Amino acid sequence: MPRESKAARLKRMHDEYAVLCRVFPEPKCALDFDSPFQLVVATVLSAQTTDRRVNTVTPTLFAQYPTAAALAAADPQRVEDIIRPIGFYHAKTRNIIALAAQLESRFHGQVPDTMDELVTLPGVGRKTANVVLGNAFGVPGFPVDTHVIRVTGRLRWRSDWNGDTPDPARIEREITACFPPEEWTDLSHRLILHGRATCHARRPDCETCPLNDTCPSVR
């Protein structure tokens, strides 16, 4: 199979993304939230578990602790009891209480809307910050999670597709360079949805995949 040129790869990326746009016409964040505060907490809680599971505990959590001030003053044991079903509840309780405390002390109880400020908060890395920026503030953000890493690798949208240690920050830079900023958030959503629906980690459903005709991994 001849080596694909950069121009050919870019065209294929946009053609494949157009297919994903048709398959997932209205993508949205899978976490339930009503405010930037709820979203940043829910995203921190989503580490190493599913968004669906997080959504089962956050209604109770936010009913009892509706603001950063309330969560900052929370009894850790009570918070642990609420979020216990999602796993790693000791560390996650520490993180979200510390996060709330810093929101209170540094940002007047409000979630900041810049990457530089968000990543200074406990439990918040680039992925979480991008989720909050794109979904709570409408600021272009491209969260790179395990689905995005897997799908962009199998589609060979990135130069290090066959590497053993993919770097999320590098993936973010390389993929976003190929798409306009206004597409970044929905692009991430669609890649995640495709990973969940079809391009599974262990047994991808290549036979029914809408990208079967162009995906380099099945040729």
**Active site amino acids:** 127, 145
Tokens of 38: 């709820």
| CA 57 – CA 68 distance, rounded (Å) | 17
Cα gap 171→152, rounded to integer Å: 9
Query: Which residues fall within 8 angstroms of residue 26, CB to CB, at 6 or more apart?
Result: none
Residue 84: DSSP 8-state:
G
Residue 41 DSSP SS3: helix
Q: How far is CA 45 from CA 3, 97, 161, 195, 207, in A?
A: 42, 12, 29, 21, 34
